[in-house]
């Protein structure tokens, strides 16, 4: 699972001010915005807008905007997400989202308001071996910094891509985060029963590669590491439902990836993790007795261990969706995997892991607000996490406090998980798909839910158009309220429900 720390500064300009700074220039007449296609063509169009947007924002001459993602609303509004560079150096914490309609900027959300004007980007006399020079502006006055990436393997066999940022002048460590996002897990066997798979035929052989979903494929690591080998089969019948056939875990991984793709496509209109129609790679049978699973941006892939005694692969639907959702977060908000932003990153994966499971509507693994309930991670038959009352796992937070940023991201995620459950279903006792829930509130006041269908779209819109790399819980509240206003209006019951659900987890 995935990314690091900070806080966000949100700048939502008034409509009048924004209109005067339209990306066409103050003296130019607004022109109609042509509909943007998804993927690379949309990014190319955003790149063409970058120069005029930079001028409208008053960026210094050495600053450039590099497009990362584009979201287009039905009303013609485009949300351009940009990273920023200064004299060719990437600005960590320089990302921003610009909303544009009919040739005019209507909203801007920045990871940092700090000015980069006048910052000396000359390389220090002493360089760090293997390090890359960047500008660091995350919850910090902008400084020149070195970014180093250390690759290693942890004691539990999890690969590590540790990013460390140090002040190029003082040597102070500014930030560290691991680029490999790890899910906690153990497993059982196959979780989804007999399922249909979309495969690719090559001559007389079938490949576990899905041509209907961006050619996302499943490789067999055969209890090793690396890239592995694509699963193939002679009769297009895969696995036997037990760990004795290695293709069984491949079936679960392929099915989970397909259900995740379908969820994002059908519910949110997103075509693959990067919204470019390209599928991600899944790799199963990693390591020896590896009780975990993880997503990595560097290989654009999910990797699954076989669990204790190599008998219980970690390939349930919600785990697959959780891992792929780390990729979605990386491609959009880029929530740094540390502190409160890391908790929001983890929660995003839990939220969409749960909603994907509901959307899949598989009778063998019905939708619920439990995370990892099928994989029996602790060997006691209990889920990994509970969204209705996160503290039921003994570690996760039910509500926000000033120390939330110091808690492991897998447990500070409980605040947003609890918020999402309350927004969807409300407080108190309820039974859904045979599972009993009883969700409390911080202020002991009731919450009335608006339904999962509305809640998931509010969270997705906030993630893709409001959140930035440095978003903390207070800014997440602001972002989801803005998303609710976009979708339902600022005076709507949905907007009020978002406000109430955050209050119920002590985020105000």
Choose among 470, 479, 468: nearest CA to 507. 479
How do the residues of the chain divide into helix, strand and coil, expressed in percent and rounded to 5?
30, 25, 45
Task: Provide the H-helix boundaries in 332-396.
Answer: 339-360
Burial 356-379 (b: 16+ CB within 10 A, else e): bbbbbebeebebbbbbbbbbbbee
Co-location of 147 and 50 in the same domain? no
Please, are residues 216 and 261 in contact by the beta-carbon 8 Å criterion?
yes
Instruction: Answer whether residue 70 is part of any domain.
Output: yes
Please, are residues 345 and 412 in contact by the beta-carbon 8 Å criterion?
no
Q: How far apart are CA 93 and CA 14, in angstroms?
A: 23
Please, are residues 442 and 506 in contact by the beta-carbon 8 Å criterion?
yes
- Looking at residue 34, what is its pLDDT? 40
Co-location of 99 and 168 in the same domain? no
Structure-block tokens of residue 49:
């807008």
Domain boundary among 145, 163, 178: 178
Instruction: Answer whether residue 350 is part of any domain.
Output: yes
Residue 268 to residues 19, 25, 82, 191, 300, Cα–Cα distance (Å):
29, 33, 21, 26, 21
Q: How far apart are CA 426 and CA 388, in angstroms?
A: 9
pLDDT tens per residue, range 133-143:
999 999 999 99
Please, are residues 494 and 488 in contact by the beta-carbon 8 Å criterion?
yes
Q: How far apart are CA 150 and CA 168, in angstroms?
A: 18
Co-location of 344 and 413 in the same domain? yes
Co-location of 476 and 405 in the same domain? yes
Co-location of 357 and 456 in the same domain? yes
Q: Give the length of the chain.
A: 508
pLDDT tens per residue, range 313-345:
999 999 999 999 999 999 999 999 999 999 999
For the chain, how many structural domains are there in total?
3
Choose among 130, 78, 82, 73: nearest CA to 104. 78
Range of the domain at 149: 131-178
Single out the catalytic residue among 184, 323, 340, 373.
323
Instruction: Answer whether residue 240 is part of any domain.
Output: no
Instruction: Answer whether residue 189 is part of any domain.
Output: no
**0.75 exceeded by the pTM?**
yes
- Is 340 assigned a catalytic role? no
- Looking at residue 478, what is its pLDDT? 98
- Is 410 assigned a catalytic role? yes
Domain holding 494: CATH number?
Answer: 1.10.390.10
- Looking at residue 182, what is its pLDDT? 56
Question: Which residues of the chain have a pLDDT value below 70?
Answer: 1-39, 156-157, 182-190
Instruction: Answer whether residue 253 is part of any domain.
Output: no
Single out the catalytic residue among 78, 163, 285, 410.
410
Q: Radius of gyration (Cα) for the chain, nearest Å?
A: 23
- Looking at residue 312, what is its pLDDT? 85
Instruction: Answer whether residue 298 is part of any domain.
Output: no
Co-location of 417 and 483 in the same domain? yes
Instruction: Answer whether residue 17 is part of any domain.
Output: no
Q: What mean pLDDT, rounded, does the chain reach? A: 87
């Amino acid at each position: 699972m995935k990314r690091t720390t900070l806080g966000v500064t949100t700048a939502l300009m008034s409509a009048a001010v924004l209109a005067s700074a339209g990306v066409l220039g103050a003296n130019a007449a607004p022109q109609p915005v042509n509909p943007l296609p998804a993927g690379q063509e949309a990014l190319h169009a955003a790149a063409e807008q970058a120069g005029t947007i930079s001028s409208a924002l008053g960026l210094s001459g050495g600053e450039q905007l590099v497009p990362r993602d584009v979201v287009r609303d039905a009303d013609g509004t485009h949300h351009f997400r940009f990273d920023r560079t200064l004299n060719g150096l990437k600005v960590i914490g320089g990302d921003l989202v610009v909303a544009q309609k009919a040739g005019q900027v209507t909203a801007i959300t920045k990871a940092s308001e700090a000015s980069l004007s006048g910052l000396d980007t000359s390389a220090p006399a002493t360089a760090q071996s293997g390090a890359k020079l960047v500008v660091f502006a995350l919850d910090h006055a902008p400084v020149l910094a070195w970014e180093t990436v250390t690759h290693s393997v942890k004691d539990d066999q999890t690969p590590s891509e540790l990013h460390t940022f140090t002040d190029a002048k003082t040597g102070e460590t500014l930030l560290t985060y691991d680029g490999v996002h790890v899910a906690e897990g153990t497993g059982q066997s196959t979780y989804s029963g007999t399922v249909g798979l979309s495969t690719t035929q090559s001559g007389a052989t079938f490949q576990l590669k899905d041509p209907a979903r961006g050619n996302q494929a499943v490789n067999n690591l055969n209890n090793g590491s690396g890239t592995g080998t694509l699963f193939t089969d002679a009769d297009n019948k895969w696995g036997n439902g037990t760990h004795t056939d290695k293709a069984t875990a491949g079936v679960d991984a392929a099915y989970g990836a397909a259900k995740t793709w379908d969820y994002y496509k059908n519910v949110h209109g997103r075509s693959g993790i990067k919204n470019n129609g390209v599928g991600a790679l899944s790799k199963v049978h990693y390591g020896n007795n590896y009780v975990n699973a993880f997503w990595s941006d560097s290989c654009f892939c999910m990797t699954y261990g076989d669990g204790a005694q190599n008998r219980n692969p970690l390939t349930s639907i919600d785990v697959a969706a959780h891992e792929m959702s780390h990729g979605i977060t990386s491609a959009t908000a880029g929530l740094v995997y540390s502190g409160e932003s890391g908790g929001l990153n983890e929660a995003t994966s839990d939220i969409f892991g749960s909603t994907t499971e509901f959307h899949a509507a598989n009778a063998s693994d019905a939708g619920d607000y439990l995370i990892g309930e099928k994989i029996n991670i602790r060997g006691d038959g209990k889920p990994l996490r509970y969204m209705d009352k996160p503290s039921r796992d003994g570690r996760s937070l039910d509500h926000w406090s000033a120390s939330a940023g110091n808690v492991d991201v897998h447990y500070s995620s409980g605040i947003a998980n609890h918020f999402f459950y309350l927004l969807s279903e409300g407080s108190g006792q309820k039974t859904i798909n045979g599972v009993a829930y009883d969700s409390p509130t911080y202020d002991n006041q009731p919450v009335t839910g608006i339904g999962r269908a509305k809640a998931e779209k509010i969270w997705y819109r906030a993630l893709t158009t409001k959140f930035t790399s440095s978003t903390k819980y207070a800014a997440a509240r602001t972002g989801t309220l803005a998303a609710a206003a976009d979708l339902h209006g600022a005076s709507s019951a949905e907007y009020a429900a978002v406000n109430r659900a955050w209050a119920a987890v002590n985020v105000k």
